[in-house]
Every structure is written in C-alpha cells, then in structure tokens.
Amino acid sequence: MPNNQDLAQRDLKVLWHPCTQMKDHEQWPPIPIRRAFGVWLEDFEGTRYLDAISSWWVNLFGHAHPAINAALKDQLDTLEHVLLAGFTHEPAVSLAERLTQIAPKGLSRCFYADNGSSAVEVALKMSVHYWRNQGQPEKTRFMTLQNSYHGETLGALGVGDVGLYRETYDALLLTPIRVMSPDAYQRSEGETAKDVALRAIAAMKQALDTHGHEVAAVIIEPLVQCAGGMRMYDPSYLTLLRETCDHYGVHLIADEIAVGFGRTGTLFASHQGPMTPDFLCLSKGLTGGYLPLSAVLTLESIYDAFYAEHAAGKAFLHSHSYTGNALACRAALATLDLLTETTLIRNHTLAQAMKASLETLQDHPNVAEIRQTGMILAIELVKDKKTREPFDKAERLGHRVYRHSLSAGVLLRPLGDVMYFMPPYVISHDEIELMGKTAIEGIHQALKGHR
C-alpha cells in the first residue's frame, strides 16, 4: 500500500490540480486520502480530517453511505451507462419524475447534463433558443448579479462576476449586464437586509428599462452567493425578482447548484420566495456527492416552444456523452430517498448548533460578521471590524486558518478571508463542536502577529 509521502510525490510528477498554484505544493503537498466515511476523510497513516465543506459542497449524507453504496452496487450489475439520445433507462425516468415532483411548482421538464457549469450552459442556450423559436432572436443577452458565480466553462464563466475567476479570461467571455446584488453585507447603518433587497430590485428595474428588449434571462444564485464569499440575502428578493422578470418579459434562471437539496433550510432555496424560476439548475448534492450529474428543470411552456415537426429545426441542440448516466441517476435516487422532512428538521437543529459553536467569536475585532442561511455558515474576517477594511490579500489570512485547522483535523478551505461551514447533514453535535472550536483556534493562531 502506498504511504502519504509516496503518493504525494507521484501526484506532483503527473497531476495539475484545480484552483491551485502548484508551487504551493512545494511547501504543502497534497493530502492523499485513502478512504472516507461519514464526515471523515482518512489518509494513509490514519490521520483524519473532518470534511466541513462537504468536498466542495457536493456531499449531503456523508462519505460511503451504506444506502447509496448499495444502490450503486446494484445498478453496476444492471446498467452502467447508455446514451440518452434515442434511448432511455429506468433511473433517468424515475429521477426526472421525482425531481419534477419536488421542485417549485410548474417545473415539469427535466434535461440532464453532467456537471454544474454544463447545466448553466444548457439554461443559457435554452433561454436564447426559446426566444428565437418564439420569433424574438434579438433577445441574446444576460443579466447577472455583482459577485455572482455560475461555473468555469466559458459560457458559465461569462455570466459570473467574481474577478478572481473571470479577469484572466475576459477576452473570451460573454458581456452580461451586471446589476447590483441584494447581498446584505452591503447594508449601511440602519438598513435591513430587506432594504438592500429593495434597492437591488430598483437597480434591476432600471437596468431592464434600458436593456429588457435584448435580454433573454436574468441568472441568480438564490439566497447565497457561494463562491463569491458566501454572501447572503433576503428571500423577499426572489419573489420581487420573479415579478420583475415577468413584467419585462425575461426569463429567470435559478442556479441552485450549490444551494439546492436542503442546504438553505428548505428543499430548494427558491421555495423561500416562494417563486418558480423558468429554469432551475441542479448538480452537486444531486447525487449525494458521489458522481457527476446535473439537471435543468423547466416549464412546460418552454418545452412546448421547441416541440415541432423535425423540418422546423426547433429542436434543442445540446449533448454531453455522459448525459443522464445511469449510475449517477441511481445515486441521485438513493440520495432523494434519504432527503426527507426529517432531514430538514434535523438540519435546523444542526444549524443552531453551528451558530452556537461560534458564540465567542461574535465580538472578535477581526470578525466583520458571522452570517448563516440554514446549513451554510460564514465568518467574514477583516482587518477592521468598524470600517470592514479587508486584510491585505498577500497575507493569505484565510489560507493560514486553513493550515491551522488541518493540523487540528478539520478541513476548512476558505474563500479568500471568508471561513465557512457547509458540512454533510450527518454531522453530529460533537463534530460540530470540534469544527467550531477548531475554527476559533485557527483564527486566533492565524491572527497572531498579523494585525
């Protein structure tokens, strides 16, 4: 059996890791994981790490869940994969039935892809194609919120607004119309989150007054702008935005890739409006964190605009080889079996425990705010609590907290200087306490001598 060091060395000879300056690995080699169970990752020497970020937000019910494992083993001996054009299979059909039943009302059609960014690409293309099929080919632009993130393929990156991911590739990207985000972190003194949402809606209306005629869709991350630093906003924005999009005749794309499946306290974040988007993009937790799969749910009226004689050339053109993979769909079905009302009730208690675990951090001079939406909790670290002046990026404060936390056995990968908890729903109260204690210690350690 390989050991940690061997595997890390072999890795560094051949691999190029995502979202990584590979030179960093000279100092901090990648951590080889031998196996995982529940919230725990274990390396080759038996050292364990609590996966507090659900392996990039994909894992819902822990690693190696017996029920998902069993479903996959069964599926493996039956059908691993078949193309989805001209053919179909039971897991794909059952999953589409289940998703359309639990999604916001009216979303009755399910189109599969195989990762989050591709789901966004599908929604963008479907929206533009819908308008074209309806005789409005001029509607080809998108509106996006400041600091939003929708993935990193060129189309998805093109409707995102996080500079870190976008700037280098700007020459290759779409030019969406960028509108104020309802992000409640921007509130000025005396303002509520709802006030910020109202301001953001006013800005959206103004932008649509000018651009509505050329816009196909507005794309948002409902309730939490995750990759943009877990920035959160008031649910009233969702219903107001739905009304606004209807008024101006533009689609609303809800990218629930990160926030779907119970993360925000409800099954889907859109339920908290409540509102039904024209397109709902799902991925990540869809398969419980097992296999890549994504789905775009849409309305029957949108589907109908593509339904015509072959010669009319109205069919939607998008295909990935692994679309609707049978193993992935089966993992998703097993995951949905686990995701019940009881999960949401238990998550509510876990969310309270997460908050309580950071009680002593509230008044810390370098904590601008601790914010939370359901099972997502974020700590925004700043140089000055009053002015919210950030730390110099070169200090890599968040990264320092990450290093300290790892040495204490907790994986807390930050977003810049935002530390966050987004654990699997099977986390125990003791594990939450460990997560909280480690985050606090990590922050104290990282700040020593770096004010």
Interface residues with ligand PMP (CB under 6 A)? 115-117, 120, 149-151, 221, 226-227, 255, 257-258, 283
CB of 258 to ligand PMP, least distance (A): 4
Task: Tell me the three-class secondary structure of 92-112, residue by residue.
Answer: HHHHHHHHHHHCCCCEEEEEE
CB of 346 to ligand PMP, least distance (A): 24
Judged by CB, which is closer to ligand PMP: 151, or 374? Answer: 151
Judged by CB, which is closer to ligand PMP: 149, or 420? Answer: 149
CB of 287 to ligand PMP, least distance (A): 11
Nearest residue to 410 (alpha-carbon basis) of 11, 4, 52 = 52
- Exposed, middle or buried: residue 359 (CB in 10 Å: 0-12, 13-18, 19+)? exposed
Judged by CB, which is closer to ligand PMP: 283, or 335? Answer: 283
By Cβ distance, which residue is nearest to ligand PMP? 116
Judged by CB, which is closer to ligand PMP: 228, or 436? Answer: 228
Judged by CB, which is closer to ligand PMP: 147, or 343? Answer: 147
Judged by CB, which is closer to ligand PMP: 42, or 152? Answer: 152
CB of 189 to ligand PMP, least distance (A): 30
Judged by CB, which is closer to ligand PMP: 119, or 333? Answer: 119
Task: Tell me the three-class secondary structure of the chain, residue by residue.
Answer: CCCHHHHHHHHHHHCCCCCCCCCHHHHCCCCCEEEEEECEEEECCCCEEEECCHHHHCCCCCECCHHHHHHHHHHHCCCCCCCCCCCCCHHHHHHHHHHHHHCCCCEEEEEEECCHHHHHHHHHHHHHHHHHHCCCCCCCEEEEECCCCCCCCHHHHHCCCCHHHHHHHHHHCCCCEEECCCCHHHCCCCCCHHHHHHHHHHHHHHHHHHHHHHEEEEEECCCEECCCCCEECCCHHHHHHHHHHHHHCCEEEEECCCCCCCCCCCCCHHHHCCCCCCEEEECHHHHCCCCCCEEEEEEHHHHHCCCCCHHHCCCCCCCCCCCCCHHHHHHHHHHHHHCCHHHHHHHHHHHHHHHHCCHHHCCCCCEEEEEEECCEEEEEECCCCCCCCCCCHHHCHHHHHHHHHHHCCEECCCECCEEEECCCCCCCHHHHHHHHHHHHHHHHHHHCCCC
Token pair in block for residue 390:
């950030």
CB of 14 to ligand PMP, least distance (A): 22
Judged by CB, which is closer to ligand PMP: 27, or 321? Answer: 321
CB of 294 to ligand PMP, least distance (A): 7
CB of 63 to ligand PMP, least distance (A): 18
CB of 266 to ligand PMP, least distance (A): 17
Half-sphere exposure of 143 (CA within 13 A, CB side): 30
| Whole-number Å distance between alpha carbons of 441 and 447 | 10
Judged by CB, which is closer to ligand PMP: 224, or 353? Answer: 224
CB of 116 to ligand PMP, least distance (A): 2
Judged by CB, which is closer to ligand PMP: 51, or 431? Answer: 51
Judged by CB, which is closer to ligand PMP: 122, or 227? Answer: 227
CB of 62 to ligand PMP, least distance (A): 20
CB of 135 to ligand PMP, least distance (A): 31
